[in-house]
Structure 1
Amino acid sequence: MSSARPAPVELVADGDRRFADEERTFLHVRLRAVTFLLSAGLALVLARDLTFGRGPAWPLQAAATVAMAFLATLLSAARTFSTRGLKLMEVAAFGLAAVVVMIHLWHAQLSATVRGDPTSLVAGSKDAVIGATIVMFTYALLVPAPYGCAWRAIAAIAACPVATEALLFLVHPEVFRLARRVATDQRIGETMSLLATSALLAAYGAYLVHTMRVRAREARQFNQYRLRDEIGAGGMGAVYLAEHRLLKRPCALKVILPERAGDPRSLERFEQEVRATAQLSDPHIVEVYDYGRTEDGTFFYVMEYLHGLSLDGLVGRHGPLPPGRVIYLLRQVCQALAEAHAAGLVHRDLTPANIFAARRGRQYDFVKVLDFGLVEAVVARNEDGSSRRGAAPGTPQYMAPEQITGDRAIDGRCDLYTLGGVAYTLLTGRPPFVGETADEVRTAQVREAVVPPSHHRPEIPPDLEEVVLRCLTKDPEARFQSAEDLEAGLASCTSASDWDARKAADWWREIGRTLAT
């Protein structure tokens, strides 16, 4: 119900990064879980060894446990790490775990040798294999990595017990002599087979996990479109930056989930509406390239990808706009509405969030109206064309009274009311009506007189204020009767010549340099 909900399309600075952000976030979450698990495991092993007097290396084990807990805490902090940083922490976490296995094996074998206990010597070797196996499977199943990287990591972990035993025999020959008393070929074979089998199973598990992730990514394709990043969301679904697989053209793909779209007839009406919208040729209406359904019934449509800011974002970043610029932007919206209304399409949800100030070639502040006709298509209507009472689609801060009450037929003058609310927000930085709840705002839209925008910003020209207040009249008969009439009213304002294409280009170039620094 907030006027600041995400715009259907927003600017993405680096459209070629594909799923890089998603992959980094996934790795971050998995590493955080892994470090917590390994911290708990190392702490339990340390407690066991100290309790049963098997802890000659407890200082080193305690240091490794603290280091692992530090990594877990670091990964839990509210900050973003680079992929390289996360990979280094991945190496550190599993390196610590492998080192603990090696330290434990080293001291267990030395302790068994001092006691002359060959049985404990064999048990120490098997404990090391079990520990290495746990670390290998933890890596394979929980850390996202390509199969080749996972296999190399698993092989390195599997080699740790073997390398430790070899070094131990070399440095302490007495360990080797004791081991020869019990280390028959059969027992050595069993231990090595267990270690090798564990490594192979872990590697195969890594292969399966990686394959499933690749297939899941490939499944995130809609016909010939490949999804990249989610760039917006709304009540009907989500919007993704996408790419045509053959043309390599960036576009915005909106997914409409069947359960969000209502009954099948409503979804069918929406599909017809998208088809009709695609026939509109006004350059200020976002261009629809394609639409379709996936095998699971998800409906989607594809529109042009825009560079710039929504008017919501523009006001949010830079505050109320100059009157001349407001007129310049709204006149373009009127042109879009004129063609849509002539085609029988009523937007019904014009807000600053779905009007975009775009860069189009060398043109700046080039308006694009988004989501044309979407709400109209999914609202149940009476046979006479009016909305059923209680069916009140739209954003409360910008809804026309007749939209809320449902007591009369909805036509293009509904859009002119909402456009008046957009103008009010652009001029003052706030919508014409606010309240604690959506119901309070709807009640105000129907019953309360709007406070003149000059009350919030005295420098607003009187003639422009008169145009805005006429748009916000409760009675549709007292408003401008067409988008053409409203555009003419805006053009006649004294501030209409204060902003033009040259000033728009200068503003965007200056802001671009500012943002770049």
Structure 2
Amino acid sequence: MALMPVAGDIVDDVFRVEEEIDSGNFGAVYKVRDLLEHRTLALKVLKPGPHDENELRQRFEREASLIYSLRHPHVVQVYYYGQTQSGLPYMAMEYLQGTDLRSLLAHHGGLSEALARRITIEALAALHAAHATDIVHRDLKPANIFLVNDGDRGHVKVLDFGFAKALDGDTNFEITNAGTLVGTPAYMSPELVHKKNVGPQADIYALGLILAEMLTGEKVVDIANVYDTIVYQGSKKDIKLPRELKHSIFAPIIEKAIAKDLDRRYVSAIEMIDALRALQIEGVGGYTDDVPLTSAPPALGNADPAAHTRPRSDGRPTLIEVEQELADASTHHLMFDHEPTIDLPRDREAPRHHATAQMPAISRSTAEQLPAATRSITATMATALPDPPAEKERPAWVDVLSGILVGGIALAAIIYWLG
């Protein structure tokens, strides 16, 4: 079974694992150091297990490609995605410090009207960017709304597009099977329950319920039985707001956002943003902060699933690739026709020959550019190669006879010169 990373591991030759920061049934998130860009990132890795790995893998890779295609300040950014050495899918994302909305509400209860409005508007701005590229989140909930502590006033990041659907008409992108519901029951829209006409309004429905929860500190749809919750969400009967919200200035906005009838619900995130901007909150007034409503994604929000990014800055072979080549070569019991090419100091340059086996082509210039660990592998390979055969010694009598002959010739030459 494939192994999950542990502290100290280097994933894909780039990400050094520092610590595990979160773990669930299907995946884990690690704090890692990007050795190429010298920055801290979060690495999300799919866990191996007895669950339906094929569907989860597709969903995981789908999420990576969808988020990678989005560029928006309120959507968590994915920089790379690929596979670990043991074959587990991963995505490298920006590292966020702060808390998710679920934890904030659990510890502090309801929020101020001004803060609830700002969080909702920033989350809607992220949804607007996704919807503009035909991406629907489909699992929006407080746990997927992250409040970043950036040392100033904080901002929202929308997370986890694992159940996201691309509205491109291609049914191949519908990963979950016909018998599987998508989403979290307490925030699930009627169209998600019935799996019909699922579009941007499903996200608006969920965010309307989240807004109400931020104002009261309690879930609006809080039914213990999951089956009853799903039946309630799928019914045509509208949800009644809690008593403390009925006369709130937010009531008309929330009621329109969570209307069961699509014709009475907000059509777009922008429409709901405009309504929230216009609210005159006591002591605060309307919403005047700038909120980014544009994004710069590719022409389509659907990245090519086959076009996995790789965190490579050059074409050098990785240490793992070199080690694999050497291992493959050693298992084939290399036989050399001549002395193989090895890199030696300049004053000991050896003649270069060709080896019949397929060794990694590592020249002097390439070896100098390789990481230290890779260069040590190259040196080890050179010292392990067979020495050239020693020359055979000549018999002693040959040397004696040669000396007598040379001496006689020299003596005759001297006598002739004196005479």
The alignment's TM-score, normalised by the length of structure 2, stands at: 0.60
Matches of 1:306 and 1:350, distance apart in 2:
18
How many angstroms does 1:281 deviate by? 1.8
Specify whether residues 420 and 351 from structure 1 end up closer, same or farther in structure 2 by C-alpha distance, changes over 3 A only. Answer: same
The equivalences for 1:290-439 within 5 A come to 290-360=80-150, 362=152, 364-371=153-160, 373-376=161-164, 383=171, 389-406=178-195, 408-439=196-227
SS at match of 1:251: strand
Letter in 1 for 2:234: V
SS of 2:127's equivalent? helix
CA displacement, residues 459-478 of structure 1 (integer Å, 9 cap, x when unaligned): x7633111112111112222
1:485 aligns with 2:271: yes
CA distance in 1, matches of 2:56, 2:78: 20
Instruction: Give the match for residue 30 of structure 2.
Output: 240
CA distance in 2, matches of 1:216, 1:282: 31
3-state SS, counterpart of residue 253 of structure 1: strand
SS of the residue 1:255 aligns to:
strand
Deviations 1:124-166 (A, max 9, x none): xxxxxxxxxxxxxxxxxxxxxxxxxxxxxxxxxxxxxxxxxxx
Q: Does the Cα contact within 8 Å between 1:389 and 1:405 map onto a contact in 2? A: no
Describe the SS at the equivalent of 2:249.
helix
**Structure 1 counterpart of 2:401:** none
- Tell me the amino acid that sits aligned with residue 391 of structure 1: T
C-alpha change, 1:385 and 1:265, in structure 2 (3 Å) is: closer
- Return closer, same or farther for 1:223/1:420 CA change in 2, 3 Å cut-off: farther
1:227 to 2:17 alignment:
yes
SS in 2 for 1:463: coil
Partner of 1:330: helix, strand, or coil? helix
* Distance change (3 Å), C-alpha of 1:241 and 1:498: farther
Give the C-alpha shift of residue 298 in structure 1.
Answer: 0.8
Q: Which runs of 5+ in 2 are unaligned?
A: 290-419
1:278 aligned to which of 68, 81, 93: 68
Hey, what does 1:471 align to over in structure 2?
257
Given the superposition, is the C-alpha separation of residues 501 and 409 from structure 1 closer, same or farther in structure 2, using an over 3 Å criterion?
Answer: closer
Would the aligned equivalents of 1:309 and 1:358 in 2 still touch at CA under 8 Å? Answer: yes
Q: Identify which range, 276-285 or 416-425, moves more after superposition.
A: 276-285
CA shift for structure 1 position 348: 0.9
Question: Tell me, what secondary structure is at the counterpart of 1:462?
Answer: coil
**Distance (Å, rounded) in 1 between the aligned partners of 2:86 and 2:39:** 25
Higher helix share: 1
Q: Confirm or deny: 8 A CA contact 1:385 1:409 kept in the other structure.
A: no
Aligned to 1:118: none
Task: Give the CA deviation at 1:217.
Answer: 4.5
Tell me, yes or no, if the aligned pair for 1:461 and 1:495 is still in contact at 8 Å: no
Quote the Cα distance in structure 1 between the aligned partners of 2:56 and 2:39: 31
SS of aligned partner of 1:449: coil
- 3-state DSSP of counterpart to 2:22: strand
User: Unpaired segments of 5 or more residues in structure 1?
Assistant: 1-214, 503-517
Contact 2:109 2:218 in 1 (8 A): no
Contact 1:385 1:410 in 2 (8 A): no
Summarize deviations over 1:284-304 as a string: whole Å, max 9, x none. 111112111013321111111
After superposition, the Cα gap between the structure-2 partners of 1:377 and 1:334, relative to the gap in structure 1 and judged at 3 Å, is closer
RMSD: 3.1
Larger radius of gyration: 2
TM-score by length of 1: 0.49
Q: Which amino acid aligns with 2:267?
A: Q
Checking the alignment, whether the CA contact within 8 Å between 2:185 and 2:229 is kept in structure 1 is yes
Note the C-alpha offset of 1:427: 1.0
Contact 1:273 / 1:377 at 8 angstroms: preserved in 2? no
Asked if the contact 2:11–2:85 (Cα under 8 Å) also holds between the matched residues in 1, the reply is no
Instruction: Kindly indicate whether the alpha-carbon contact (under 8 Å) linking 1:310 and 1:356 is maintained by their aligned counterparts in 2.
Output: yes
